[in-house]
Every structure is written in C-alpha cells, then in structure tokens.
Structure 1
Amino acid sequence: MRFAKSLIALTVTTALTACGGSDSSDTNVSNPPPGDDNTGSTTTTVYTEGVITGFGSVYVNGQRYRSENADIALANNPAATEGDLKVGMVVSLAASESNNGDDPEATNIRYEEHLQGPISFIDTEAEVIEILGQRVVYNDLTEFDEVALADLTIGDIIEVSGYINEEGDFYATRIELENDEEEFKLKGDVTALDTSAQTFMINELTIDYSSAEFDDMSAADLEDGLYVKVEGTEFDAETLTLVATDVENKDNNVDDYDDADEIKIAGIVSNYDEATGTFDVNQYSFTVNDDTEFEDGSASRLVNGARVKVEAEYDGEQLVAEEIEFIAKSARNVSEGQVTAVDAEAQSFTVNGITFVVDDDTSYLDTSGQGARTFNYEDIAVNDWLKVIAVIDYNGDYVALKIKRTDEDDRDGEIKGVASDVSLEGMTVAGVQVSFNEQTEFEDEDDLSIDEFVALFSDDTELQVEVEGDYDGDILIASEVEIEREDDEDDDDDNDDGDDDNANDKRGKAEFEGAVESIDGESVIVNGYELRFSSDSELEIDDEEVSLEDFLAALEVGSIIEVEGIWRNQTYIEVKEAEL
C-alpha cells in the first residue's frame, strides 16, 4: 500500500489532533502525567528507516519507540497492529520526541517486503539464495521465520526483508516462508528499458509492463535508473519474465523526511565518491563534511559495502550526514549454552565461559517455551539457554549482535569460532567442548583426514572453524567441521574494496541445490555451473544409494538435485555427493 501523505506529514497531523479538545475519557498514554505541565519542553520530529531488533514497544536501529498509538501498515494491510511486526523487518517510522527524557513516540510505522517469490537456487557455501532473478545474500544474523534454512527447497515461496548492498543484491535481515503463491513482488532499479516491447529489467528479471497499472507515475515516466516496486502473478521461470500487474515509483522519498528535524537511516553503503564526499544508503543519498562525526571507526571505514547507521539533517537540497556509526555485518563467534552469570551494571552475561556485552544494536528473540515477545537484556537470567551471535571488537570484547533464547532440546548444534586445544579426540570452539568420532567429516578447500586437520594447528595457530553436530549433554559431537579462511568471510575490515569474495572466487567447497539446465554425458549444468561426476561420487535418489549409471539415467532437465563438491581450476565442480 501507499501512504497518501508522507510519514512526517502524518506525524504533524497526529500531533495537532492530540493537541485539540479532549474530554475526560481520553486515555492517550502519550499525554504528560498529572502535575507535569511540560513547561519549556520542545518537540522534535524524527524519520527513521532500519531493522526491528526487539519489542516492548518497538526497537528500530537500537532506539526504543513507544508504539501504543502508532498507525501501523504492513504491505497491503493498512490497519495492522504491533503484533504483526517481527524482528528482522526493515521498517520506516515517523515519531515525535520531546526533551523531557521520554522515549520518542512513533506515530506511523510501515513495512513493505523487498522481495517475494519462488526459490530457484540455494548456495549454502556462498550463503546465497536466488529468487526472481535476484541474488539474496544471508548470514548468521539473518532471521529465518517459521522455517529453518535447511528446510528450504527449490520452488518454495519466501518473503525477504533487508537492504540492497553495494552489488545491487539483497542482503536479507529476515526471510519468511510464504504461503501465498499467487503474488510476486520486488524492488529495484529499472535497466534495459524497451518502450516498444514494453519491458524492462531488474537485475536478471525481465518485467513485462504492458498490462500494468502505475502508481505515482505513468508508463511514460519509466527510465533506466528509476527505483520501482513491481507486483505480478504470472512468472515464467524459464525465461525469467514477470508480467507486472502494478508498477510503483519508489524513487522519490523526499516527502517522507523533508519536514523532519532528524533523519536516521540504516543500511549498506554504495556509490561512495571520496572526491565529492557523497554516498548512498538504500535509496538515500548523503553528503559528508568536516563536521561529520564517526562512531566505532574512522572515516577510512566509509567504503562501499560498509554497514552503517547515518544521522542526518535535510538542508532543503541534500541530506548532510551529522554522524555515521559503523555496524558489524558478520559474526566471528556463534555459541550455544547456558547462562552462568549476569552483570547488569556492565550490561554483560556469561555463556560457556565467555563474557558477552550488549549494545544498542543487539537484536533479541525468544523462541523458548517462555515465548516472551518483549524479551531483551533485562530478561536474561542465570540458567537460561541462549544462542549468541557475536563479533570481537577492537578491544577484544565479545559484542553480542543477536541473542536468541531457546530451550536445551532445541539447540541448533551449529557453532563458530577460533578452535583451541585441538587433538585427535576433539577441540574447543566458542567455549563449547567438541568431540570427534569416526563419522566426523573435515573440510578446508578440500576434504581432510582427521590427521591432516589436527596437523594444521600448532601452539600459535588461530584458525576459524564452523562446526555442525548433535549434543550429548554439553558436548557437541561433530558431524562436520569446516575451516573458514579469512577471505571466506564478508569481513568489515578486510573487504574494503566491496567485492563479494564468496560469490566471485570459485574455489574450494561447493554446496548447493538447484535445477538441472542441460545434460551432456557425465557433464551436467546446474545454474550455470558445470558438474562432473565420477565413479567415486556418492549418489542417491530419494535417499537410496544408486550407481553413477542409474543416477545419470534418472536425471532430466528440470530435475532438482542437491550437490556437494569441490571447484577444480575455477571452471567445474567435481561432485563428491549428489542427491536427486
């Protein structure tokens, strides 16, 4: 849906209404308490866009906004409630803030999904999902709602909320399995406009707009570079064509913030120009000057791909960045365990012998039997079971980026961190004791034996590993251990060029699910990747082991297969395991 007025205009309208005559039955909790005449108070209007990190009212970009009187709209539901909002949603919010120390009061909150459609490819090694010809990048911080990543498969309809990154891909803050298979949606920049054929493209997707209705624009307003939202119900997966029913102009957002005293936008930096001091975050363009302040990093960290929160002021012509805060966008430590200590004064807690601190950007979610929607730091108690996703800052502190309260039996069995005390029997990772057995698989850029794995470590070796397995009490019995090299991570400091190493560096392990595009003997193409099979490939059809001959005979164009293999010469994948 589209707001008839800007968010800030609605804020002013709401404020004027609240100041009008009210009778004794008025229960608006935003009014000052009896005896407080608010003498000398001033009101500031705020416009913000960012991810929801918790509830108890609504937390956006780490700030709590009182939401009891807010008008809330979700997609096509203009009369939503706070209960419809979810952690991980990227929302736009207008609020008013007084100088009396109270949290700002949200007057309007709106949410629109960034992308909705069927999955065509899942690359678990590169952490990429493809939908409607768009690449969706996810990581440990992405919230998967109502579905686990491992349960997603080709053809599932998912809804994605997040940010556009410097590559033009979607970085997902939240992914939800969607039951509505009749509606496809996406936002993006118009390219390859063909007015004769009445088509344009958004990344790899062709949009047929010949029968579309237009909102805030006409067909004549279409041009390359215009940012639009497209909806449709007819999608051809073979030609990657969506027949649009609606095309909406999303390029003009000045009306949302031109009357705001403060503008706060979170997202990923793109189009940075050091010479002019300009950069984009989402669809907002900012300018830095000598007065711009930087938090959690110096100005040198302002590069394409950096994840930031920007506080700005609109001077009538441009958004001038007053403060830029750098936010960690990937985790170096994932731990699961029971809380043994809480230090309210230090805003910290201890799990598996590691002390984690929280900050305004920490996200909270309770999936335990307690199911507390308003779960936050104050609710963490000794003996709680937590999954903690953290980054290690420049001071060596473990800063919790995401905290999920769970039950002991519902632990994921997936941890990440620097391995220590490595032996043939096991190791310690993220404070968790890990045990090896005969079934444990070890991987680096290729498969490793347990002896080769242990030989990688010495007294001064620090290698990051990711472990999957099942718990036996507090011990994690590893089924798979993978070395994570530094250039395999989308690291804030090491990736200053903005390149996505995972996507472009075809080497090491490959693990994905997709549809067969062509078959030529023992060479099979899936999503543009060439697969080569051999007699050593372990092959299954519906969980039954089969021979190479039987497997290839059963393959057809369009068959869905899961593949694990190794890149060879950056040109083809040597298949280790595959299942039809």
Structure 2
Amino acid sequence: MKLNSLVALSSAVAITLGLAACGGGGSSTNTAASSSNKLIAGTITGFGSIHVNGEHVLTDNSTTYSVDGQSDDGSGLNVGAEVKICTRVRSDGSVMAADVISNDELEGIVTSAPTGTPCPTSGSLEVLGTTVNYNAELVLDGNSAGVNSMCDLVAGTSLVEVHGRPGTNGIDATRIEVKAVVADTEIKGTVDTIDTNNSTIALNNLTIDYATATVDGLTLDNSAVGKLIEAKLDPATFVESAPGSGNWTATAFKLELEDESFQECGQSDGNEAEIEGVITRGPGDNNGTPGDTSDDLANDQFEMNGSDIVQLDAELAGDSSMTALLIVGKEVKVEGAYDTNQVLVASDLEAEQSGNLEYAGIATSVVEKSTGTALTSSNYSVNKIYLVTLDGGTSSEKTFVVNPLGTTMDDSTDVYGDAFNMVDLLAGSPNVEFQYYVSGADNIATKLELK
C-alpha cells in the first residue's frame, strides 16, 4: 500500500482560487514578466508543479529547493509537508516559485504510540516527549516498514519525521514519515523556561542541556523564553527522567532561533503573503517574552504558527464575523502584505474546515461543476471544479465537489502512484473513498482516495 502520496489537510471554506493559475503539470518555461513578490506558506496537497493553499505554483529550472536545510532537486518534497514558497506573481496572474523551503517539526523516536482496534483515526502520540496530534487527514508514509496505521508505531523503537504546525497542545501533524534511521534528532518548540545556572532550557516535556551547543540567532537569557527554536539533539543522551514520568532530558549540540516567514524569503515592505496555519496567540496577548513588550499583541493582531504576527486591516478589524474567528487553536488562511515593521497586514481572512466525514463507493459520474460537461482525458484541468458521484450501495448516490488544487489525491492501489489525478477515475468502475465536510448543500472533498 502506498501511503506517501497522500491525505489532504484542511481545505478552506471558500473553494474559489485566490489567483488565476496556469494549467498543466511539471515545470513551466513561460517567461511572462514578473510583477510582484509573494510568500506562500502552507501544506503541499499535490504536484504538477506544486499545489499549496488551493494555488497552483509553477516551477522551472531556475527554482531552488531546500529540504530540512539541505539543497534538493525537488524530489524530497512530499504531500503533507509544510512549505514556504518564495514566488513572483507574473503579469498574466500565474505564480512562479523562486525558492521552495520545507522543514520538519520533529525527527526522532516515538515515546508513546496510540492503540486500539480499530486504530483511532484521530488522536495523539508522543515523539521525543512532545505531543503530536493527528486526524483522518494525516499523511502517513509507512515507507514499506509495515506501518499502515498509527497503531503500528512502537514506542521506544519507531523513528519518525513529523511535519505540522504548532498547536495549542503540541504539534498538529500534517505528515508523519516512518524512517529506518534519522539524519538528525531534532525538535522545534517554544522555550518554556531557561536555567542559566545549569545551562538548560525546557521545551514541552523535554529539558535540554545546552552547555556545549553552538547557538545561532538566540540569546541564552530570559529573553529566550517564548521564542520558537529548533534544537538538534544527541540521541544517545535522550532518556526519561524517571520511568513512567513522561519527562525527558537530552543534550543539544545546536540551538537555532526559528525564522519568521518573511525572513525566509527576504520579504520587505509591500510584499504580499498568503499563510495557512494555526492561531497560536490571540488579540491583546502579552504573554510573549517576559520583560519584552516588543512581541505583545495589539487588539487587532494575532500570532500564527508560533512566529508570524498578523494584523487585521481596518475593514477586517471592523467586521465582527472576522474578529470572531480569532480563537487560539483555530486554523485560518490569511492574505495580505507586509508593513514596514514586518507585520503581515491581512486584507483577507478565511476559517479552515477539516474534512472529518467519510463516504466510500464506486465512481459513476465525473463532470465539470460549472457546465456539467463530462470529464475526458483531453478536457481535464486542475483549474476546474468537478462533481464526482459515488454509488455507495445505498438507495441514493452522493455527489462531491472536488477542487484538484485543494483535494489530496491518494492512490492506495499503487497503480498510478504520484501521477494519480481525476482522469484515472474514468478507468473501469473504481472504488473511491472521500473525506469531506458539508458547506450548505455541498459536500466539499478534502481527500480523494483510490481503493
């Protein structure tokens, strides 16, 4: 069973595309003139070139890739991975990637694994003593290690790489990949406390000895509290403080302050950004760095993903339906532009909706939503919205709205692999399972899995 091709993440409540995107897959050689810079940060939901946040981001031979700090040719990217893409919005409205940056949140040993029969589709585990939350939209890549569900992971034995976002209780995972070995044992998190006398910091349930660590961008005093950092650990030193305590210790060989999104792409005043993620601090929150008011939030500001400060523009700030969305732990997507203080001023704010409903059946019809035209191999486009009807063996069929740019396409049969798309539903009478949510009268697909 191939698991590395997929499971969609949250899909925006609005399914309309933010920008016109060029059709076709692979790379592009279109040389339309550039018009503006734009940062896009979110989760990969598909390829050809890269699908993120419902956008089709083109790539070409000039696009550079960085995966976990190492230069890459793009093959190291996977569905479910979190990315920051530095792009140019061209004069024809298409979006071309200049740099694609992908980093995991955790890499190391599983310290607590879920159990159950059947295995729960949502729950939590612990990696390096850190809580990792997951749901039915998780991308689980077992890497032929016999891991077909979260309950196949073994505490104290399984090694994993976790992609996701900081949540209200640990990491909200978007992708978990099982590894035979890990290149680095590493953890990201917000510094809870620092003990300068003993050269230790606390992240979640882990106390880290930094006495011999190299330090990048971080001052090791009380100003470190509240900062989002990455720690690279010596795995031989990772031990539980006392059996069954759930508290762990380790020695770090490197500590690094995590960049905010605008720093990844060298963004400047007026540059645009589109960021998808979790609200980690709400309006008016002054619980950032102790004694430092520079990261206190105004009543029209909030923090996303543990690092990015967002401010509502005047129109959004005056709209009670928008301010009602600013709840810690809520998944949102924002679009706007950076100001001179490197704060993202949001001109658009959308809540995200998880696809936690499931329905399986045989595909009986695939048509364009706007015209009713039947899908063929010659008229398929990732920029069209489709209606897919399934016969689930009940008295009535169920129809789903599918946006190829916002729906993860998963071939569990391994017949099509990463090339699987809507056209493959036309072959025979395929068994299909949807994950979806209901919006008005529509069933909005977040994941389409070929069984």
| TM-score over 0.5 (shorter chain) | yes
Q: Distance in 2 between matches of 1:202 and 1:330?
A: 31
1:43 aligns with 2:35: yes
Q: Distance in 1 between matches of 2:186 and 2:114?
A: 22
1:136 aligns with 2:137: no
The amino acid that maps onto 1:334 is E
- Contact 1:266/1:309 (8 A) holds in 2: yes
Q: What is the aligned counterpart of 2:400 among 346, 351, 356? A: 356
Q: CA deviation at 1:316?
A: 0.8
Question: CA 1:365–1:67 in 2, change beyond 3 Å: closer, same or farther?
Answer: farther
- Contact 1:143/1:173 (8 A) holds in 2: yes
Q: Distance in 1 between matches of 2:301 and 2:317?
A: 15
> TM-score scaled by structure 1?
0.59
Deviations 1:158-179 (A, max 9, x none): 11001111x1410000001012
Name which one, 1 or 2, has greater alpha-carbon Rg. 1
Which secondary structure state, in structure 1, belongs to the residue aligned with residue 56 of structure 2?
strand
Percentage of matched positions with identical amino acids: 26
> TM-score scaled by structure 2?
0.75
Q: Distance in 2 between matches of 1:249 and 1:73?
A: 18
- Contact 1:127/1:138 (8 A) holds in 2: yes
Structure possessing the higher relative contact order (Cα contacts under 8 Å, 6 or more residues apart): 2
- Contact 1:182/1:233 (8 A) holds in 2: no
Query: How does 1:505-516 map onto structure 2 within 5 Å?
Result: none
Deviations 1:256-295 (A, max 9, x none): 3533621111101121127712111111011113323999
| Unaligned ranges ≥5, structure 1 | 1-27, 33-37, 407-580
Deviations 1:101-121 (A, max 9, x none): 4x3111111111101121121
Query: How does 1:49-448 map onto structure 2 within 5 Å?
Result: 49-69=41-61, 70-78=63-71, 80-101=72-93, 103-124=94-115, 127-146=123-142, 147-148=147-148, 149-155=150-156, 156-165=158-167, 167-181=168-182, 183-217=184-218, 219=220, 223-234=224-235, 235-239=237-241, 240-256=248-264, 257-259=266-268, 261-273=271-283, 276-282=299-305, 283-292=307-316, 298-317=322-341, 318-331=343-356, 333-346=357-370, 347-351=386-390, 352=392, 353-359=397-403, 360-381=405-426, 383-393=429-439, 395-406=440-451
Which secondary structure state, in structure 2, belongs to the residue aligned with residue 291 of structure 1?
helix
- Contact 1:54/1:375 (8 A) holds in 2: no
- Contact 1:67/1:82 (8 A) holds in 2: no
The amino acid that maps onto 1:321 is A
Match of 1:557 in 2: none
- Contact 1:362/1:400 (8 A) holds in 2: yes
Q: Distance in 2 between matches of 1:349 and 1:189?
A: 43
Question: CA 1:356–1:298 in 2, change beyond 3 Å: closer, same or farther?
Answer: farther
- Contact 1:339/1:349 (8 A) holds in 2: yes
Q: CA deviation at 1:327?
A: 1.2
Q: CA deviation at 1:88?
A: 0.1
Deviations 1:133-159 (A, max 9, x none): 211000000110123223212121111
Q: CA deviation at 1:237?
A: 2.8
| Unaligned ranges ≥5, structure 2 | 1-26, 242-247, 285-297, 371-385
